[in-house]
Amino acid sequence: MKRLYIAVLWLGAITVGAWGDFTWPDQQASVRINGESVVATWRDGIPYVSREHTIHLLHIRSGPPEINLIDALNQQGFTMRLNSDGSIDCNKSGGKAVGQDAQNWGHSQSASSTATDPKASPADPRQAMVDAIGQELAVHSRRPIRWAFTVVKDAEPNAWTPGEGQVFITTGLLDLKLTRDEIAGVLGHEIAHGVRQHLAQHQRMVKTLKEIEDVRRRYEKAQADFNKSDPTSGARDKLEREMRGVENQLSDLRQQYESIQSYLKHEQAFNHAQECEADAYGLGYAIAAGYQADGQMSALKKLNNSQFKRYGQSGTMGSRTHPPIRERINRLDEVMRKRGY
């Protein structure tokens, strides 16, 4: 199994390196893009990142599920800096969208990635139909909360949930001429992701990384203040106590970080299991609302055909977060047979 690395900076002063021409290390290193730590995988000396989890940073909306980070940063004019602790800062003012993948629908966009502010398409004549179908399904979910189902203007076929209570579906997916039963299958899958709290682990990971960054910055400031302070001053003792307190916080966060590392080692298995679970629960919601049981499977077949035409075999092979589309179709078929449909 490929090793996944989490980009975290602990302690150590940052040294200003050369900007412009940059030589990347050929092994794991901590990486930050515009100040945000990202998870990277080194293969054959090249860092790769999940397109899904970096869409709000790199704005890459099409292509394979994993991105060659070096190529992506160079194409978008980022500048890189190697710090004294071996970490790498990649910075750019602003950012421009360069296209989107439509691998599979699912929990492919985390809560943080909704910062891209998907453009709702209220004028789309299918909006009312999508919302009506979604509301029919939502009443059969775990809790009676308010759900919103939004059609997003995007040519790529996709659907996702940032968490319980909200689902987005693109015009590109609807343009595959989905029937009402197929739309119900797609929306049911997304409702299941929200109800089953499938994004919780990733959200905890993002939260912990941000906390580590905040504490690291506090430590650096306390250390700088301590070094500048008068050795005979009483304030120096206070600064030393503050540094110790921050070090204790880092120790606590390190334990959480180790837990995250354990999760990342098995992330693909967890994500694929969640997709299968969402498929099964979504099927149940659709049936309970009176829709045909094979709606989701039929929608997946249309997506599979569309992806093959656009990207070839690689467009149907799945990713770290999703099993291959054909595998999902076969598993849904098995679930339906067991339930007598």
Q: Could you give the number of structural domains in the chain? A: 2
Q: What is the pLDDT of residue 229?
A: 79
pLDDT at 133: 96
Distance (Å) of CA 112 to CA 52, 79, 135, 222: 11, 23, 25, 29
**Following CA atoms 67, 63, 297, 177 in sequence, which dihedral angle do they give, to the nearest 10 degrees?**
150
96, part of any domain: no
Predicted local confidence at residue 12, as pLDDT = 29
Name the residue among 43, 46, 65 with its Cα closest to residue 54: 65
What pLDDT is attached to residue 120? 61
Domain final residue, candidates 91, 120, 136: 91
What are the average pLDDT values for consecutive 10-residue runs of the chain, which has 341 residues? 28 33 79 84 85 82 82 89 81 48 42 44 85 94 85 88 86 94 94 77 67 77 80 75 79 72 57 79 92 92 83 55 76 86 80
Q: Which of 91, 118, 145 is the last residue before a domain boundary?
A: 91
* Amino acid of residue 63: G
Whether the CA torsion 92, 93, 96, 102 is positive or negative: it is positive
Domain boundary among 69, 91, 113: 91
Same domain, 274 and 134: yes
265 in any annotated domain:
yes
Residue 10's domain spans which residues? 5-91
Residues 23 and 46 in one domain: yes
Nearest CA to 131 out of 118, 120, 142 is that of: 120
Helix (H, G, I), strand (E, B) or coil at 305: helix
**Residue 97 within a domain:** no
Q: Do both 289 and 323 map to the same domain? A: yes
